[in-house]
Chain A
Amino acid sequence: MKHILDIVSISLSYRNKLILEDISFGVGKGEFFVIIGPNGAGKTSLLKILAGLEKSHQGGVAVRGKDIRNFTRRGLSQILAIVPQQVEVGFPFSVAETVIMGRTPHLGILGLEGKKDFHIAQEAMEFTDVAHLADRKLHQLSGGELQRAIIARAICQQPEIILLDEPTTALDPAHQLKIMDLMEKFRREHGTTIIMVSHDLNLASMYGDRLLLLKEGRVVKTGDPKSVLNKELLEESYGCRIQVDESPVGQVARVTPIPDKYLHLHD
Protein backbone atom coordinates (compact mmCIF):
# COMPACT_ATOMS: atom_id res chain seq x y z
CA MET A 1 0.00 0.00 0.00
CA LYS A 2 1.30 3.47 -0.86
CA HIS A 3 1.80 5.64 2.19
CA ILE A 4 0.12 9.05 2.36
CA LEU A 5 1.79 9.82 5.67
CA ASP A 6 5.30 8.80 6.72
CA ILE A 7 6.51 9.41 10.23
CA VAL A 8 10.24 8.86 10.56
CA SER A 9 11.77 8.73 13.99
CA ILE A 10 10.08 11.74 15.57
CA SER A 11 10.74 12.89 19.12
CA LEU A 12 9.24 15.75 21.06
CA SER A 13 10.30 17.23 24.35
CA TYR A 14 8.74 19.99 26.37
CA ARG A 15 10.78 21.74 29.05
CA ASN A 16 13.33 18.91 29.07
CA LYS A 17 10.59 16.32 29.51
CA LEU A 18 10.44 13.75 26.75
CA ILE A 19 6.85 13.51 25.42
CA LEU A 20 7.49 11.36 22.36
CA GLU A 21 10.56 9.28 21.65
CA ASP A 22 11.72 7.87 18.32
CA ILE A 23 8.34 7.18 16.77
CA SER A 24 8.13 5.80 13.26
CA PHE A 25 5.19 4.48 11.28
CA GLY A 26 3.44 4.95 7.98
CA VAL A 27 -0.23 5.33 7.18
CA GLY A 28 -1.54 4.05 3.88
CA LYS A 29 -3.93 5.92 1.63
CA GLY A 30 -7.51 5.16 2.61
CA GLU A 31 -6.51 3.42 5.80
CA PHE A 32 -8.44 3.64 9.09
CA PHE A 33 -5.61 4.08 11.58
CA VAL A 34 -6.24 4.25 15.32
CA ILE A 35 -3.80 5.51 17.94
CA ILE A 36 -4.46 4.05 21.39
CA GLY A 37 -2.68 4.22 24.71
CA PRO A 38 -3.16 5.28 28.33
CA ASN A 39 -3.62 8.90 29.47
CA GLY A 40 -0.43 10.91 29.14
CA ALA A 41 1.08 8.52 26.58
CA GLY A 42 1.48 11.38 24.10
CA LYS A 43 -1.41 10.55 21.76
CA THR A 44 -2.69 14.11 21.42
CA SER A 45 0.85 15.50 21.03
CA LEU A 46 1.43 13.00 18.24
CA LEU A 47 -1.82 14.04 16.57
CA LYS A 48 -0.81 17.71 16.80
CA ILE A 49 2.48 16.96 15.07
CA LEU A 50 0.62 15.10 12.31
CA ALA A 51 -1.69 18.11 11.98
CA GLY A 52 1.23 20.51 11.61
CA LEU A 53 0.12 22.41 14.73
CA GLU A 54 3.19 21.36 16.72
CA LYS A 55 6.46 21.94 14.90
CA SER A 56 9.14 21.72 17.58
CA HIS A 57 9.64 17.99 17.04
CA GLN A 58 12.78 16.28 15.84
CA GLY A 59 12.59 13.84 12.98
CA GLY A 60 10.36 14.05 9.96
CA VAL A 61 6.71 13.89 9.02
CA ALA A 62 6.05 13.59 5.31
CA VAL A 63 2.60 14.19 3.85
CA ARG A 64 2.38 12.76 0.34
CA GLY A 65 6.17 12.58 0.38
CA LYS A 66 6.71 16.26 1.26
CA ASP A 67 8.00 17.42 4.64
CA ILE A 68 5.14 18.84 6.70
CA ARG A 69 7.26 21.88 7.63
CA ASN A 70 7.47 22.88 3.97
CA PHE A 71 3.71 23.24 3.61
CA THR A 72 1.97 26.58 4.00
CA ARG A 73 -0.85 26.45 6.52
CA ARG A 74 -3.31 26.88 3.66
CA GLY A 75 -1.72 24.17 1.54
CA LEU A 76 -1.69 21.68 4.40
CA SER A 77 -5.32 22.43 5.26
CA GLN A 78 -6.36 21.49 1.73
CA ILE A 79 -5.05 17.98 2.40
CA LEU A 80 -5.67 17.53 6.08
CA ALA A 81 -8.64 18.31 8.36
CA ILE A 82 -8.97 17.98 12.11
CA VAL A 83 -11.91 17.18 14.35
CA PRO A 84 -10.66 18.52 17.68
CA GLN A 85 -11.49 17.10 21.07
CA GLN A 86 -12.97 20.35 22.35
CA VAL A 87 -15.04 22.79 20.37
CA GLU A 88 -15.46 26.46 21.19
CA VAL A 89 -19.20 27.25 21.16
CA GLY A 90 -19.06 30.60 22.99
CA PHE A 91 -19.83 32.65 19.88
CA PRO A 92 -23.27 32.13 18.38
CA PHE A 93 -22.36 30.81 14.93
CA SER A 94 -25.01 28.63 13.34
CA VAL A 95 -24.35 25.09 12.11
CA ALA A 96 -24.38 26.26 8.47
CA GLU A 97 -21.95 29.11 9.22
CA THR A 98 -19.67 26.70 11.08
CA VAL A 99 -19.68 24.06 8.37
CA ILE A 100 -18.88 26.46 5.57
CA MET A 101 -15.85 27.71 7.51
CA GLY A 102 -14.32 24.44 6.34
CA ARG A 103 -14.08 25.99 2.87
CA THR A 104 -11.47 28.48 4.15
CA PRO A 105 -8.38 26.85 2.57
CA HIS A 106 -10.12 26.87 -0.82
CA LEU A 107 -11.31 30.50 -0.87
CA GLY A 108 -9.77 33.64 -2.38
CA ILE A 109 -8.34 36.59 -0.47
CA LEU A 110 -11.69 38.21 0.41
CA GLY A 111 -12.96 34.90 1.73
CA LEU A 112 -16.33 35.11 0.02
CA GLU A 113 -17.98 31.74 -0.59
CA GLY A 114 -19.52 30.99 -3.96
CA LYS A 115 -22.39 28.72 -5.02
CA LYS A 116 -20.07 25.74 -5.28
CA ASP A 117 -18.92 26.21 -1.68
CA PHE A 118 -22.49 26.34 -0.39
CA HIS A 119 -23.26 23.22 -2.38
CA ILE A 120 -20.31 21.36 -0.84
CA ALA A 121 -21.34 22.53 2.65
CA GLN A 122 -24.93 21.41 2.05
CA GLU A 123 -23.77 17.94 0.94
CA ALA A 124 -21.50 17.67 3.98
CA MET A 125 -24.38 18.58 6.31
CA GLU A 126 -26.65 16.05 4.62
CA PHE A 127 -23.97 13.37 4.87
CA THR A 128 -23.59 13.83 8.63
CA ASP A 129 -27.32 14.35 9.13
CA VAL A 130 -27.25 17.91 10.43
CA ALA A 131 -28.86 19.63 7.42
CA HIS A 132 -32.10 20.01 9.38
CA LEU A 133 -30.15 21.85 12.10
CA ALA A 134 -28.52 24.32 9.68
CA ASP A 135 -29.88 27.45 11.40
CA ARG A 136 -29.41 26.19 14.95
CA LYS A 137 -26.63 27.83 17.02
CA LEU A 138 -23.77 25.56 18.10
CA HIS A 139 -24.48 25.95 21.81
CA GLN A 140 -28.05 24.73 21.27
CA LEU A 141 -26.90 21.34 19.97
CA SER A 142 -26.58 18.06 21.84
CA GLY A 143 -23.17 16.42 22.11
CA GLY A 144 -23.78 14.08 19.18
CA GLU A 145 -25.22 16.82 16.96
CA LEU A 146 -22.29 19.11 17.72
CA GLN A 147 -19.79 16.38 16.88
CA ARG A 148 -21.58 15.70 13.57
CA ALA A 149 -21.56 19.42 12.73
CA ILE A 150 -17.81 19.58 13.35
CA ILE A 151 -17.29 16.45 11.24
CA ALA A 152 -19.32 18.11 8.47
CA ARG A 153 -16.94 21.07 8.69
CA ALA A 154 -13.96 18.73 8.32
CA ILE A 155 -15.61 16.99 5.33
CA CYS A 156 -16.33 20.40 3.81
CA GLN A 157 -12.57 20.96 3.71
CA GLN A 158 -12.42 18.09 1.16
CA PRO A 159 -9.31 16.67 2.77
CA GLU A 160 -7.43 13.49 1.93
CA ILE A 161 -6.73 12.87 5.60
CA ILE A 162 -9.06 13.43 8.55
CA LEU A 163 -7.60 13.48 12.06
CA LEU A 164 -10.03 12.74 14.89
CA ASP A 165 -9.16 13.39 18.53
CA GLU A 166 -11.30 11.16 20.74
CA PRO A 167 -14.47 11.84 18.73
CA THR A 168 -16.73 9.56 20.75
CA THR A 169 -15.89 10.62 24.29
CA ALA A 170 -18.99 11.74 26.20
CA LEU A 171 -21.38 10.19 23.67
CA ASP A 172 -23.87 7.39 24.31
CA PRO A 173 -23.30 4.05 22.49
CA ALA A 174 -25.79 4.82 19.72
CA HIS A 175 -24.18 8.16 18.96
CA GLN A 176 -20.71 6.64 19.19
CA LEU A 177 -21.65 4.12 16.51
CA LYS A 178 -23.31 6.78 14.40
CA ILE A 179 -20.15 8.88 14.37
CA MET A 180 -17.93 5.87 13.65
CA ASP A 181 -20.23 4.55 10.91
CA LEU A 182 -20.23 8.00 9.29
CA MET A 183 -16.46 8.07 9.21
CA GLU A 184 -16.29 4.51 7.87
CA LYS A 185 -18.86 5.28 5.15
CA PHE A 186 -17.09 8.48 4.15
CA ARG A 187 -13.79 6.66 3.93
CA ARG A 188 -15.26 3.94 1.71
CA GLU A 189 -16.94 6.45 -0.61
CA HIS A 190 -14.03 8.88 -0.93
CA GLY A 191 -10.90 6.88 -0.14
CA THR A 192 -10.10 9.32 2.66
CA THR A 193 -7.45 8.33 5.19
CA ILE A 194 -8.70 8.42 8.77
CA ILE A 195 -6.43 8.73 11.77
CA MET A 196 -8.15 8.61 15.12
CA VAL A 197 -6.99 8.89 18.70
CA SER A 198 -9.26 6.88 20.96
CA HIS A 199 -9.64 5.49 24.44
CA ASP A 200 -12.30 3.06 23.29
CA LEU A 201 -10.41 -0.15 22.56
CA ASN A 202 -13.50 -1.95 21.31
CA LEU A 203 -14.31 0.78 18.78
CA ALA A 204 -10.65 0.68 17.74
CA SER A 205 -10.96 -3.08 17.33
CA MET A 206 -14.14 -2.89 15.25
CA TYR A 207 -13.21 0.01 12.96
CA GLY A 208 -9.43 0.18 12.78
CA ASP A 209 -7.45 -1.38 9.93
CA ARG A 210 -4.32 -0.94 11.96
CA LEU A 211 -3.68 0.19 15.52
CA LEU A 212 -0.74 1.90 17.15
CA LEU A 213 -0.31 1.34 20.88
CA LEU A 214 1.56 4.18 22.57
CA LYS A 215 2.96 4.14 26.10
CA GLU A 216 5.03 6.84 27.77
CA GLY A 217 5.85 8.40 24.43
CA ARG A 218 7.05 5.19 22.79
CA VAL A 219 5.48 2.80 20.32
CA VAL A 220 4.65 -0.49 22.01
CA LYS A 221 3.26 -2.11 18.89
CA THR A 222 1.81 -1.30 15.49
CA GLY A 223 -0.28 -3.77 13.57
CA ASP A 224 -3.75 -5.14 12.88
CA PRO A 225 -6.23 -4.98 15.77
CA LYS A 226 -5.87 -8.63 16.78
CA SER A 227 -2.10 -8.40 17.13
CA VAL A 228 -2.11 -5.11 19.04
CA LEU A 229 -5.06 -5.91 21.29
CA ASN A 230 -3.08 -8.56 23.04
CA LYS A 231 -3.75 -9.25 26.70
CA GLU A 232 -0.13 -9.01 27.85
CA LEU A 233 0.61 -5.84 25.86
CA LEU A 234 -2.55 -4.11 27.09
CA GLU A 235 -2.08 -5.08 30.74
CA GLU A 236 1.51 -3.90 30.59
CA SER A 237 0.58 -0.61 28.89
CA TYR A 238 -2.57 0.32 30.81
CA GLY A 239 -1.53 -1.13 34.15
CA CYS A 240 -4.76 -3.00 34.90
CA ARG A 241 -6.09 -6.51 34.42
CA ILE A 242 -7.65 -7.00 31.04
CA GLN A 243 -9.35 -9.89 29.30
CA VAL A 244 -9.30 -10.20 25.53
CA ASP A 245 -11.50 -12.65 23.71
CA GLU A 246 -13.26 -12.87 20.40
CA SER A 247 -16.51 -10.96 20.04
CA PRO A 248 -19.40 -13.03 18.63
CA VAL A 249 -20.14 -10.00 16.43
CA GLY A 250 -17.75 -9.89 13.49
CA GLN A 251 -15.15 -12.11 15.14
CA VAL A 252 -13.14 -9.05 16.22
CA ALA A 253 -11.08 -8.82 19.40
CA ARG A 254 -13.16 -7.81 22.42
CA VAL A 255 -11.44 -6.09 25.31
CA THR A 256 -12.83 -6.20 28.84
CA PRO A 257 -11.02 -4.41 31.67
CA ILE A 258 -11.54 -6.36 34.87
CA PRO A 259 -12.56 -4.51 38.03
CA ASP A 260 -11.10 -5.52 41.41
CA LYS A 261 -14.30 -7.15 42.61
CA TYR A 262 -14.26 -9.68 39.75
CA LEU A 263 -10.54 -10.41 39.92
CA HIS A 264 -11.18 -13.70 41.76
CA LEU A 265 -13.25 -14.92 38.80
CA HIS A 266 -10.37 -14.20 36.43
CA ASP A 267 -7.76 -16.88 35.69
Chain B
Amino acid sequence: MSISAKIALTTVLLGTVLILTAIIGISAGSSGTHFWETLSILAGSSEPGSITSTIVWQIRLPRVLLAASVGGSLALGGLVFQALLRNPLAEPYILGISGGSAIGAILAMLIGLSYFPGVALFSFAGSLLVLAFVITLAGTTLGNTMLSRDSLLLGGVMMNAFCAAVIMFLISMTRSFQVQHILYWLMGDLSSLQKYQLPILLVIIPCFGIIFILARPMNLLLLGRETAASMGINVRITVLLLLVITSLMVSVIVSLSGLVGFVGLVIPHIFRLLLGPDHRLLVPACILGGGSYLIFCDLLARVLPSAGEMPVGIITALIGAPLFILLLMRRKT
Protein backbone atom coordinates (compact mmCIF):
# COMPACT_ATOMS: atom_id res chain seq x y z
CA MET B 1 0.00 0.00 0.00
CA SER B 2 1.39 3.40 -0.92
CA ILE B 3 2.05 5.97 1.76
CA SER B 4 -0.73 8.25 0.49
CA ALA B 5 -3.22 5.40 0.79
CA LYS B 6 -2.00 4.63 4.31
CA ILE B 7 -2.38 8.28 5.31
CA ALA B 8 -5.88 8.39 3.82
CA LEU B 9 -6.93 5.15 5.52
CA THR B 10 -5.59 6.27 8.92
CA THR B 11 -7.31 9.63 8.57
CA VAL B 12 -10.67 8.17 7.54
CA LEU B 13 -10.64 5.50 10.27
CA LEU B 14 -9.62 7.79 13.10
CA GLY B 15 -11.78 10.60 11.73
CA THR B 16 -14.79 8.30 12.02
CA VAL B 17 -13.79 7.44 15.57
CA LEU B 18 -13.50 11.15 16.36
CA ILE B 19 -16.95 11.95 14.94
CA LEU B 20 -18.59 9.04 16.79
CA THR B 21 -16.89 9.97 20.05
CA ALA B 22 -17.95 13.56 19.56
CA ILE B 23 -21.61 12.60 19.00
CA ILE B 24 -21.57 10.44 22.14
CA GLY B 25 -19.85 13.25 24.02
CA ILE B 26 -22.53 15.70 22.91
CA SER B 27 -25.44 13.39 23.72
CA ALA B 28 -24.36 12.54 27.25
CA GLY B 29 -24.11 14.75 30.30
CA SER B 30 -25.36 15.46 33.81
CA SER B 31 -28.80 16.43 32.51
CA GLY B 32 -29.33 13.04 30.91
CA THR B 33 -28.38 11.14 27.78
CA HIS B 34 -30.39 11.60 24.62
CA PHE B 35 -28.56 9.99 21.72
CA TRP B 36 -31.23 10.06 18.99
CA GLU B 37 -32.59 13.41 20.05
CA THR B 38 -29.07 14.85 19.91
CA LEU B 39 -28.58 13.43 16.42
CA SER B 40 -31.72 15.10 15.17
CA ILE B 41 -30.76 18.39 16.86
CA LEU B 42 -27.33 18.31 15.26
CA ALA B 43 -28.94 17.48 11.92
CA GLY B 44 -31.14 20.56 12.34
CA SER B 45 -34.41 18.62 12.13
CA SER B 46 -35.49 19.32 15.70
CA GLU B 47 -37.26 22.50 16.82
CA PRO B 48 -34.61 24.98 18.03
CA GLY B 49 -36.19 26.27 21.25
CA SER B 50 -36.13 23.13 23.42
CA ILE B 51 -34.00 22.82 26.54
CA THR B 52 -32.06 19.90 25.14
CA SER B 53 -31.35 21.86 21.99
CA THR B 54 -30.00 24.78 24.02
CA ILE B 55 -27.83 22.46 26.10
CA VAL B 56 -26.48 20.79 22.98
CA TRP B 57 -25.67 23.99 21.06
CA GLN B 58 -24.64 26.26 23.93
CA ILE B 59 -22.89 23.91 26.33
CA ARG B 60 -22.00 20.46 25.07
CA LEU B 61 -20.94 21.15 21.48
CA PRO B 62 -18.47 23.90 22.48
CA ARG B 63 -17.20 21.67 25.26
CA VAL B 64 -16.63 18.74 22.91
CA LEU B 65 -14.94 20.99 20.33
CA LEU B 66 -12.62 22.27 23.04
CA ALA B 67 -11.82 18.75 24.24
CA ALA B 68 -11.07 17.63 20.67
CA SER B 69 -8.79 20.62 20.06
CA VAL B 70 -6.99 20.26 23.36
CA GLY B 71 -6.50 16.50 22.98
CA GLY B 72 -5.37 16.76 19.36
CA SER B 73 -2.97 19.63 19.99
CA LEU B 74 -1.40 18.11 23.09
CA ALA B 75 -0.90 14.71 21.45
CA LEU B 76 0.64 16.39 18.41
CA GLY B 77 2.79 18.60 20.64
CA GLY B 78 4.10 15.53 22.46
CA LEU B 79 4.81 13.78 19.17
CA VAL B 80 6.83 16.72 17.84
CA PHE B 81 8.85 17.20 21.01
CA GLN B 82 9.58 13.48 21.32
CA ALA B 83 10.96 13.56 17.77
CA LEU B 84 12.84 16.85 18.08
CA LEU B 85 14.44 15.97 21.40
CA ARG B 86 14.71 12.28 20.48
CA ASN B 87 13.52 11.59 24.00
CA PRO B 88 10.60 9.25 24.71
CA LEU B 89 9.76 11.09 27.93
CA ALA B 90 9.26 14.43 26.21
CA GLU B 91 5.78 15.89 26.48
CA PRO B 92 4.28 19.13 25.15
CA TYR B 93 5.08 21.08 28.32
CA ILE B 94 8.71 20.06 28.50
CA LEU B 95 10.29 23.29 27.27
CA GLY B 96 8.88 25.23 30.20
CA ILE B 97 5.36 25.79 28.92
CA SER B 98 3.73 24.29 31.99
CA GLY B 99 5.74 26.31 34.48
CA GLY B 100 5.47 29.61 32.66
CA SER B 101 1.77 29.36 31.89
CA ALA B 102 0.93 28.18 35.42
CA ILE B 103 2.68 31.13 37.04
CA GLY B 104 0.85 33.47 34.67
CA ALA B 105 -2.51 31.86 35.36
CA ILE B 106 -2.08 31.77 39.15
CA LEU B 107 -0.97 35.41 39.25
CA ALA B 108 -4.05 36.39 37.26
CA MET B 109 -6.28 34.42 39.65
CA LEU B 110 -4.65 36.02 42.69
CA ILE B 111 -5.13 39.49 41.24
CA GLY B 112 -8.75 38.51 40.82
CA LEU B 113 -9.01 38.59 37.03
CA SER B 114 -11.76 36.70 35.22
CA TYR B 115 -10.97 33.37 33.53
CA PHE B 116 -11.32 35.00 30.18
CA PRO B 117 -9.55 36.99 28.97
CA GLY B 118 -7.51 37.64 32.17
CA VAL B 119 -6.24 34.22 33.20
CA ALA B 120 -5.91 33.03 29.61
CA LEU B 121 -3.85 36.04 28.56
CA PHE B 122 -1.58 35.88 31.59
CA SER B 123 -1.03 32.17 31.08
CA PHE B 124 -0.25 32.66 27.39
CA ALA B 125 2.17 35.46 28.18
CA GLY B 126 3.87 33.45 30.93
CA SER B 127 4.29 30.50 28.61
CA LEU B 128 5.81 32.59 25.81
CA LEU B 129 8.19 34.35 28.17
CA VAL B 130 9.61 31.11 29.52
CA LEU B 131 9.77 29.55 26.02
CA ALA B 132 11.59 32.55 24.61
CA PHE B 133 14.05 32.32 27.47
CA VAL B 134 14.66 28.56 27.02
CA ILE B 135 15.05 28.78 23.24
CA THR B 136 17.40 31.75 23.44
CA LEU B 137 19.41 29.99 26.13
CA ALA B 138 19.72 26.83 24.03
CA GLY B 139 20.57 28.87 20.95
CA THR B 140 23.40 30.83 22.50
CA THR B 141 25.04 29.66 25.67
CA LEU B 142 24.65 25.99 26.46
CA GLY B 143 26.54 23.56 24.25
CA ASN B 144 28.07 24.56 20.98
CA THR B 145 25.43 23.42 18.51
CA MET B 146 22.59 25.77 17.77
CA LEU B 147 19.47 24.50 19.57
CA SER B 148 21.05 21.20 20.54
CA ARG B 149 18.66 18.65 22.02
CA ASP B 150 20.37 18.46 25.36
CA SER B 151 20.47 22.19 25.99
CA LEU B 152 16.79 22.55 25.06
CA LEU B 153 15.83 19.64 27.28
CA LEU B 154 17.92 20.74 30.25
CA GLY B 155 16.87 24.36 29.89
CA GLY B 156 13.20 23.36 29.82
CA VAL B 157 13.42 20.98 32.76
CA MET B 158 15.29 23.54 34.85
CA MET B 159 12.80 26.29 34.04
CA ASN B 160 9.90 24.00 34.93
CA ALA B 161 11.56 23.10 38.22
CA PHE B 162 12.16 26.74 39.03
CA CYS B 163 8.58 27.64 38.11
CA ALA B 164 7.28 24.76 40.26
CA ALA B 165 8.98 26.33 43.26
CA VAL B 166 7.41 29.70 42.47
CA ILE B 167 4.02 28.01 42.08
CA MET B 168 4.37 26.33 45.47
CA PHE B 169 5.31 29.65 46.98
CA LEU B 170 2.27 31.36 45.44
CA ILE B 171 -0.05 28.60 46.62
CA SER B 172 1.35 28.75 50.14
CA MET B 173 0.49 32.45 50.23
CA THR B 174 -3.03 31.91 48.95
CA ARG B 175 -6.29 31.95 50.90
CA SER B 176 -8.09 28.63 50.93
CA PHE B 177 -11.06 29.35 48.65
CA GLN B 178 -8.74 30.23 45.79
CA VAL B 179 -6.64 27.11 46.18
CA GLN B 180 -9.25 24.88 44.58
CA HIS B 181 -9.43 27.09 41.49
CA ILE B 182 -5.67 26.95 41.16
CA LEU B 183 -5.53 23.20 41.64
CA TYR B 184 -8.25 22.64 39.06
CA TRP B 185 -6.35 24.78 36.58
CA LEU B 186 -3.12 22.89 37.29
CA MET B 187 -4.87 19.54 36.75
CA GLY B 188 -6.50 20.68 33.52
CA ASP B 189 -10.08 21.82 33.43
CA LEU B 190 -12.34 22.19 30.42
CA SER B 191 -15.38 23.48 32.32
CA SER B 192 -14.67 27.21 32.23
CA LEU B 193 -14.92 27.62 28.46
CA GLN B 194 -17.50 29.98 27.01
CA LYS B 195 -18.90 29.57 23.52
CA TYR B 196 -17.61 32.93 22.29
CA GLN B 197 -14.01 31.82 22.99
CA LEU B 198 -14.20 29.02 20.45
CA PRO B 199 -12.90 31.03 17.43
CA ILE B 200 -9.53 31.27 19.21
CA LEU B 201 -9.16 27.56 18.60
CA LEU B 202 -9.04 28.21 14.85
CA VAL B 203 -5.38 29.22 15.17
CA ILE B 204 -4.41 25.60 15.74
CA ILE B 205 -5.58 24.52 12.29
CA PRO B 206 -2.72 26.17 10.33
CA CYS B 207 -0.37 24.74 12.97
CA PHE B 208 -1.66 21.24 12.18
CA GLY B 209 -1.07 21.92 8.46
CA ILE B 210 2.50 23.16 8.86
CA ILE B 211 3.43 20.28 11.16
CA PHE B 212 1.99 17.77 8.68
CA ILE B 213 4.13 19.26 5.90
CA LEU B 214 7.15 18.87 8.18
CA ALA B 215 6.29 15.23 8.98
CA ARG B 216 8.75 13.74 6.52
CA PRO B 217 11.62 16.01 7.61
CA MET B 218 10.80 14.89 11.17
CA ASN B 219 11.34 11.29 10.09
CA LEU B 220 14.79 12.22 8.87
CA LEU B 221 15.57 14.18 12.02
CA LEU B 222 15.12 10.92 13.95
CA LEU B 223 18.22 9.67 12.12
CA GLY B 224 20.29 12.53 13.49
CA ARG B 225 20.68 16.11 12.36
CA GLU B 226 23.75 15.57 10.17
CA THR B 227 22.16 12.66 8.36
CA ALA B 228 19.01 14.70 7.82
CA ALA B 229 21.10 17.56 6.45
CA SER B 230 22.99 15.21 4.16
CA MET B 231 19.69 14.19 2.60
CA GLY B 232 18.66 17.74 1.83
CA ILE B 233 16.83 18.90 4.96
CA ASN B 234 17.50 22.44 6.12
CA VAL B 235 17.83 21.37 9.74
CA ARG B 236 18.05 24.78 11.37
CA ILE B 237 14.89 26.12 9.74
CA THR B 238 12.97 22.87 10.22
CA VAL B 239 13.83 22.59 13.92
CA LEU B 240 13.13 26.25 14.60
CA LEU B 241 9.83 26.19 12.73
CA LEU B 242 8.69 23.05 14.55
CA LEU B 243 9.69 24.49 17.93
CA VAL B 244 7.94 27.80 17.42
CA ILE B 245 4.75 26.47 15.79
CA THR B 246 4.30 23.69 18.32
CA SER B 247 5.02 25.93 21.29
CA LEU B 248 2.54 28.55 20.09
CA MET B 249 -0.13 25.93 19.53
CA VAL B 250 0.34 24.35 22.95
CA SER B 251 0.46 27.74 24.69
CA VAL B 252 -2.87 28.77 23.16
CA ILE B 253 -4.41 25.48 24.22
CA VAL B 254 -3.05 25.66 27.76
CA SER B 255 -4.34 29.21 28.18
CA LEU B 256 -7.87 27.90 27.61
CA SER B 257 -7.73 24.53 29.36
CA GLY B 258 -5.07 24.59 32.03
CA LEU B 259 -2.51 21.81 32.23
CA VAL B 260 -4.26 18.69 31.00
CA GLY B 261 -1.65 16.05 31.65
CA PHE B 262 -0.64 12.75 30.11
CA VAL B 263 -2.44 13.03 26.74
CA GLY B 264 0.67 14.49 25.16
CA LEU B 265 2.89 11.80 26.58
CA VAL B 266 0.91 8.64 26.02
CA ILE B 267 -1.06 9.17 22.78
CA PRO B 268 2.06 9.51 20.57
CA HIS B 269 3.51 6.36 22.15
CA ILE B 270 0.32 4.38 21.62
CA PHE B 271 0.21 5.31 17.94
CA ARG B 272 3.92 4.64 17.51
CA LEU B 273 3.30 1.14 18.84
CA LEU B 274 0.35 0.68 16.47
CA LEU B 275 1.56 2.45 13.31
CA GLY B 276 5.37 2.53 13.46
CA PRO B 277 7.69 5.52 13.38
CA ASP B 278 6.52 7.32 10.20
CA HIS B 279 5.36 10.83 11.15
CA ARG B 280 3.28 11.20 8.02
CA LEU B 281 0.91 8.68 9.65
CA LEU B 282 1.55 9.74 13.23
CA VAL B 283 0.67 13.42 12.75
CA PRO B 284 -2.93 12.84 11.58
CA ALA B 285 -3.28 9.90 13.97
CA CYS B 286 -2.26 11.97 17.00
CA ILE B 287 -4.51 14.90 16.04
CA LEU B 288 -7.60 12.71 15.55
CA GLY B 289 -6.80 10.07 18.18
CA GLY B 290 -5.76 12.61 20.81
CA GLY B 291 -8.97 14.52 20.16
CA SER B 292 -11.14 11.40 20.51
CA TYR B 293 -9.31 10.36 23.65
CA LEU B 294 -9.83 13.68 25.41
CA ILE B 295 -13.52 13.87 24.40
CA PHE B 296 -13.94 10.44 25.98
CA CYS B 297 -12.02 11.35 29.15
CA ASP B 298 -13.92 14.61 29.47
CA LEU B 299 -17.20 12.73 29.13
CA LEU B 300 -16.21 10.53 32.06
CA ALA B 301 -15.09 13.56 34.05
CA ARG B 302 -18.52 15.10 33.51
CA VAL B 303 -20.65 11.99 34.07
CA LEU B 304 -18.86 9.92 36.74
CA PRO B 305 -19.10 12.22 39.79
CA SER B 306 -22.64 12.24 41.23
CA ALA B 307 -22.47 16.00 41.64
CA GLY B 308 -20.29 18.52 39.78
CA GLU B 309 -17.36 17.25 37.77
CA MET B 310 -13.74 16.35 38.26
CA PRO B 311 -10.72 17.73 36.41
CA VAL B 312 -10.23 15.81 33.17
CA GLY B 313 -6.48 15.53 33.85
CA ILE B 314 -7.22 12.88 36.47
CA ILE B 315 -9.04 10.65 33.99
CA THR B 316 -6.45 10.98 31.23
CA ALA B 317 -3.74 9.43 33.38
CA LEU B 318 -6.04 6.96 35.13
CA ILE B 319 -6.99 5.36 31.80
CA GLY B 320 -3.95 6.21 29.70
CA ALA B 321 -1.22 4.69 31.86
CA PRO B 322 -2.77 1.20 32.18
CA LEU B 323 -3.73 1.24 28.49
CA PHE B 324 -0.17 2.01 27.48
CA ILE B 325 1.31 -0.65 29.78
CA LEU B 326 -1.12 -3.18 28.30
CA LEU B 327 -0.03 -2.35 24.76
CA LEU B 328 3.62 -2.53 25.74
CA MET B 329 3.14 -5.97 27.29
CA ARG B 330 1.26 -7.26 24.26
CA ARG B 331 4.03 -6.10 21.95
CA LYS B 332 6.71 -7.85 24.01
CA THR B 333 5.02 -11.25 23.83
Contact = CB atoms under 8 A, between A and B. Distances in A.
Interface of A: 48, 51-53, 72-74, 76-78, 80-82, 84, 87-88, 90-93, 97, 101-102, 104-105, 107, 109-113, 153, 157
A82 B230 contact: yes
A51 B230 contact: yes
Contacts of B223: 87-88, 91, 101
29 contacts: A48-B226, A52-B229, A53-B226, A53-B229, A53-B230, A73-B229, A73-B232, A77-B230, A82-B230, A84-B224, A84-B227, A87-B223, A88-B223, A88-B224, A91-B277, A92-B277, A93-B276, A97-B278, A101-B219, A101-B220, A102-B231, A104-B220, A104-B231, A105-B231, A107-B216, A110-B216, A111-B215, A111-B216, A153-B231
B213 interface: yes
Contacts of A153: 231
Contacts of B197: none
Interface string B193-224: 00000000000000000000101110110111
Interface in B271-329: 276-278, 280
Nearest to A103: B231
Contacts of B280: 111-112
B233 A73 contact: yes
A84 B230 contact: yes
A149 to B, nearest CB: 12
List the 7 closest pairs (A to B, CB-CB), nearest first: A105-B232, A111-B216, A77-B232, A74-B232, A82-B230, A104-B231, A91-B277
Contact of A73 (B215, B216, B234, B277): B234
Chain A, interface SS category: loop
How many B residues touch the partner, as a band? 20 to 34
Nearest to A83: B230
Contacts of B43: none
Given A72-B234, A78-B232, A105-B232, 5 more contacts: A53-B229, A74-B232, A80-B230, A92-B277, A112-B3
- Most chain-A CB neighbours within 10 Å: which of B217, B222, B227, B235? B227
Nearest to B278: A97
B86 interface: yes
A175 B55 CA distance: 71
B4 A112 contact: yes
A84 B224 CA distance: 11
B3 A113 contact: yes
A105 B213 CA distance: 15
A73 B311 CA distance: 47
A193 to B, nearest CB: 16
Nearest to A81: B230
Contacts of B86: 90
A5 B230 CA distance: 17
Nearest to B235: A73
Contacts of A93: 219, 222, 276-278
B222 A104 contact: no
A77 B231 CA distance: 5
